[in-house]
Structure 1
Amino acid sequence: MRIGIDVGGTNTDSVLIDGTQIVRKSKTTTTENITNGVKDSLRAILPSGDNNLDVNAVMIGTTHFTNALLQKNRLATTAALRLCLPATQMLPPMVDWPKEMKESIKGYTYLVDGGFEFDGREISPIDKDQIRKAADDMANRGVEAIAISGIFSSVDPSQEQIAAQIVQEETPHIKISMSHEIGRVGVLERENATILNACLSTTSDSVVRAFREAVEELSLGSALFLTQNDGTLMDADFATKYPVYSISSGPTNSMRGAAFLTGIQNAIVADVGGTSTDVGILRNGFPRESSIAVEIGGIRTNFRMPDVLSIALGGGSVVNTSPIAIGPESVGLQLTQQSLLFGGSIRTATDVAAAAGLVNIGNKSLLSEISEEDIKSSLNLMNVMTEDVIDRLKFNADDIPVILVGGGHFLIGDYLTGASEVLRPKNGDIANAIGAAIAQVGGQSESVYSLAEMSRDEALSDATQEAKKRAMSAGANPKTLMVVDVEEIPLTYLPSNAIRIRVKVVGDIPEIS
């Protein structure tokens, strides 16, 4: 058996799955203390006396790390060490970061000798004394975490690894993140992703520790996994080291759950929650990843993130009149206090849906102020908002299946422009928790290869082995590994027949004896 838990902005969903059968499910309001909410969810699906169930693993998708970045709360004092000189001096680390974010982590920066060309030739050798001097200065400044990045370290990570070893020897207490393990090709965005990972290190320690305690408190004896941004899992130890991989796992959990519930591997999935609707594309059963830089709190990054668009449409979205407008304001967690259905004074999208007979909750006698014309106009606008996102995500004019999941799926109609069919799977309201429960462990690699130096097959083999290595590091059973995606992009602007190769590998979680 497996337990899947997904912490959303409004609700925390949980499910107990035995094979492909849903044994028990729960939906509770997300608490301010997310850890307590996770404990409550575990208790809800494991009533007293059921603690001896054979639960193999607990998978959790959490908003802890997203909230920490957005609220600039509990972030580690962080330094960035770039191996680059004499190159890139005009654009130092965090050059385009929002001022408040940079100040919240102190944001100390150090530029030292090092870096590579795209084909692995050194820009300059590293200077160990420079690195030791920088490490000593970090210790004196009270730095808690360091992000080490080197130019084209994704081609050759050796300099980053040597620098990390020196920093570890000089300052054993500092947590180290290396860019070749986190981001993709593109030094500034990869560096940004690594700095974000580093500043989340103290939060990840406390969060994973709390989750472990919650599992142990119920005497489950289960392995603990956190969900990643690409729809796969990582074990607790891996999550402690790479918290940035969980920043946008909520939408991907829902997409994986939608694929499981419908058996459809290629579709658009709209997850309608209490505050927003997240829309993404399933490709071969996995969320399509963004091919461009993704901003997180105003910071450009390039690590693996889902290609998801969000709109301000959810069950708690405020509906204004004259003219009809929906969002971006939302009552969110206060739906049962502030919406008309429950005696409040704010008209929400759920009020409109209830007035139209699409959902049966609350006291409908309190909705007399909503006219038939307002109902029609509001529901039409909700459909138009969804259709616009569908059109933006599609690569061609062909219609594609649309799967509606999430607690607010009733807000969207059965007929949408651009959709070949609209599906509402049973248990779609907890698709996010199901997606977490059925996920596999994943690993990914991306690097630039010169085909003048090696054959295409050798390059593919190298990238595949690296992806498998990362999947095993994340907790995958080596005997179950399989390649699910390979992407090759010729880099015509570089000499030596350069090519960028990205490989994704997944595997099952190990069986617990």
Structure 2
Amino acid sequence: MYRIGIDVGGTNTDAIILDENYHLIHAVKSPTSLDIKTGIETSLRSLLQGANMDKNQITHAMLGTTQCTNAIVERKKLAQVGVIRLGYPATASVIPYTSWPEDMVQKLSGNYALVHGGYEYDGQVLGEVDEAEITALLEQWRGSIESIAVIGVFSSIKNDQENQVRDLIHEVYGEEFPVSCSSLIGSVGLIERENATILNAALCKVIETTTQGFVQALESEGITDAAVFLCQNDGTLMSIDYAKQFPILTIACGPTNSIRGASYLAKIKDTMVLDVGGTTSDIGVLQDGFPRESSVAVEVGDIRTNFRMPDIISVGLGGGSIVRSVNGKVTVGPDSVGYRIREEALVFGGKTLTTTDIAVRLGHADVGDRSLVAHVEEDFAKRAEAEISSIIEQAIDKMKTSSGDVELVLVGGGSIVIPDTIRGVSHMIKPENGGVANAIGACIAQISGQYEQIYIYSKEPREDSLRDAKEKAVQQAVLAGADPVTVELVEVEETPLAYHPGNATRLRVKVVGNMK
């Protein structure tokens, strides 16, 4: 019984095998390829050759990927989206795609319609859904769109209208046609929730290609019976079918994999984690073993959204960051040699001075040929190290919730460039196998389910509301691939809505369970 975990980073693709007791059997790193798929296949092949094991004993395979993030940032491989907002005429003053980058709107076709429907903030009907209106719209769009986003006004209170429109779309276009409903994706706030739903709908082709590529890569290596999962951005996993419904949940899963892996390796559930890659460093916070979630709206590809995202700070510092002297001042990054570090860095015979070269010159790391950096002046190297410390210190300060020093777990393949002493850090832990913490985090993760809705406690008592939210969160976890017997409640968040006279509360419930 073995598990494979693969995490695709901007610089390297890491792959590991764990046994049934979660002991590391073998780990490999290979450069991330431009098409991602080739890098996964190379890592997988190298991993299996090095492990020398019976492939029939591999029961689970997990993938953490940057494909969806890259598709949004690069504006590539996105689907043509039709946007249906239930809320006419009340919401006509702010139309869909408001404040979006123009190039992104053009990529997604820009098709939208404001139709009748929606609810008031207290759950009263704003407008009834006109099925004839929807049907006529779908006939107009036929052949010109590949996915649809459905957004109802205050669907976070009642989502039956969104479900009604979704069912109608499936009647007209077929059951397999991708439909994204905002009540299952975003939080309170119409525009941000709508934006997140549109992005989710736009990613349907990317996630299909990614999942197919991963399954085919496994099959080409003779792994045919393993259960396949993708990583979510809360440090948990989801099945392929669930990922196809909610591809947006893979965004920022790389840093959360590292945070979860760091927690497992260091045997710590509450701490700060610094994951240093080849190009960037990610800083996050562990709370009870899971990454802390962002409490503010997050921009993805310059688009403001409010779906679930981890509270992560990324800085342009990694093992391949380029070090320069500009007008007498030492600068580090944010540009990097990335996956070409073994060709470009001085210690490997290249011509570019990187942070790895600085670490080797100062005796903090033993990689490559140290004699190749002997000409770098020690004073210059120390100034570069001070700049590296400054970048990390500022990022850590932004993540703190108090002025005191914090404990820091250091992981990632580029962690050799981080000095042993950093202001604001009381104790630094460097766990064994921290270089592949991201792949380990993918491999040891559980399945999660989350549900969020506004409940009016004056109409539905708190205990009944909690029970209902938990049941729906468990349903989401089971859909994502969890064994229902193992699912347990891990988080409840209640936010009273002060403007509502009926004691309305935004209730968010999270559960986790083991894989089937």
TM-score normalised by the chain length of structure 2: 0.96
Q: Please tell me whether residue 34 in structure 1 is matched to residue 36 in structure 2.
A: yes
Within the alignment, does 1:189 sit opposite 2:192 as a pair? yes
Query: Which aligned pairs between 1:209-224 and structure 2 lie closer than 5 A?
Result: 209-220=212-223, 221-224=225-228
Q: Distance in 1 between matches of 2:277 and 2:49?
A: 27
Correspondence list, 1:30-429, <5 A: 30-47=32-49, 50-140=53-143, 142-172=144-174, 174-220=177-223, 221-321=225-325, 322-429=328-435
Secondary structure at the aligned position of 2:443 is classed as: helix
Moved more, 37-46 or 254-263: 37-46
User: Which amino acid is 2:65 matched to?
Assistant: T
Q: Secondary structure at the match of 1:193?
A: helix
Aligned equivalents of 1:176, 1:81: Cα separation in 2: 10
Are the aligned partners of 1:319 and 1:348 in contact in 2 as well (CA < 8 Å)? yes
- SS state at 2:133 partner: helix
Moved more, 174-183 or 242-251: 174-183
Q: Is the 8 A contact 1:115 1:150 kept in 2?
A: yes
Deviation for aligned residue 1:51: 3.9
Paired positions, count:
509
Q: Deviations over 1:302-341 (max 9, x none)?
A: 1111000000100111112120111111111221222222
1:443 to 449, 459, 465: 449
CA distance in 1, matches of 2:215, 2:169: 29
Partners of 1:94 and 1:467 in 2: how far apart? 30
Contact kept, 8 Å, 1:66 with 1:247, in 2: the verdict is: yes
Runs of 4+ that moved beyond 3 A: none
Contact 1:448 1:501 in 2 (8 A): yes
CA distance in 1, matches of 2:32, 2:55: 27
State the SS of the aligned residue for 1:390: helix
Residue identity in the other structure for 1:12: T
Q: Is the 8 A contact 1:152 1:185 kept in 2?
A: yes
Question: Which range moves more in the overlay, 201-210 or 342-351?
Answer: 342-351
Distance 1:52 1:77 in 2: 40
Further displaced range: 6-15 or 396-405: 396-405
Q: Is the 2:122–2:500 Cα contact (8 Å) retained in structure 1?
A: no
Distance 1:112 1:453 in 2: 29
- 2:319 touches 2:416 (CA, 8 Å); kept in 1? no
How many Å apart are 1:457 and its aligned residue?
Answer: 1.3
The gaps in structure 2 that reach 5 residues or longer are none
What is the alpha-carbon distance in structure 2 between the residues aligned to residue 312 and residue 202 of structure 1?
30
1:53 Cα offset (Å): 4.4
* Cα RMSD for the two superposed structures: 1.4
TM-score after normalising by structure 1: 0.97
1:97 corresponds to which letter in structure 2? W
Q: Is the 8 Å Cα contact of residues 89 and 114 (structure 2) preserved in structure 1? A: no
Determine if contact 2:321/2:355 at 8 Å carries over to the other structure: yes
Conserved? CA contact 1:143–1:174, under 8 Å: no
Provide the C-alpha distance between the structure 1 equivalents of 2:406 and 2:451, rounded to a whole number of angstroms: 30
Distance in 2 separating the partners of 1:55 and 1:114: 49
- In structure 1, distance between residues paired with 2:375 and 2:85: 61
Query: 1:353-396 deviations in whole A, cap 9, x for unaligned?
Result: 11111111222222234211111111112112111111111111
1:432 Cα offset (Å):
0.1
Q: Which residue of 2 aligns with 1:496?
A: 502
Which range moved further: 208-217 or 168-177?
A: 168-177
More moved, 374-383 vs 32-41: 32-41
Report the Cα distance in structure 2 between the residues aligned to 1:433 and 1:453, rounded to whole angstroms: 46
Cα contact 1:119–1:449 (8 A) shared by 2? no
Q: Secondary structure at the match of 2:55?
A: coil
Q: Which amino acid aligns with 1:410?
A: I
* Alignment partner, residue 479 of structure 2: 473
CA distance in 1, matches of 2:99, 2:159: 25
Structure 1 position 14 matched with structure 2 position 20: no
Q: 2:460 is paired with a residue of what secondary structure?
A: coil
SS at match of 1:56: strand
Q: Distance in 2 between matches of 1:52 and 1:315?
A: 34
Residues 428-454 of structure 1 show CA distances to partners (whole Å, capped at 9, x for unaligned) of: 000000000000011111111111112
CA 1:495/1:370 → structure 2, altered by over 3 Å: closer, same or farther? Answer: farther
Cα contact 2:484–2:513 (8 A) shared by 1: yes
- Secondary structure of the 1:47 match is helix
**2:440 and 2:348 mapped to 1: Cα distance?**
30
In structure 2, the CA distance between the partners of 1:482 and 1:133, relative to structure 1 (3 Å rule), is same
- Paired letter, 1:151: V
Q: In structure 2, what is the Cα distance between the partners aligned to 1:457 and 1:285?
A: 27
C-alpha contact 2:455 2:465 (8 A) present in aligned 1 = yes
**Distance (whole Å) between structure 2 residues aligned to residue 53 and residue 290 of structure 1:** 40
Measure, in 1, the Cα distance between the counterparts of 2:475 and 2:189: 22
Q: Which moved more, 1:24-33 or 1:211-220?
A: 211-220
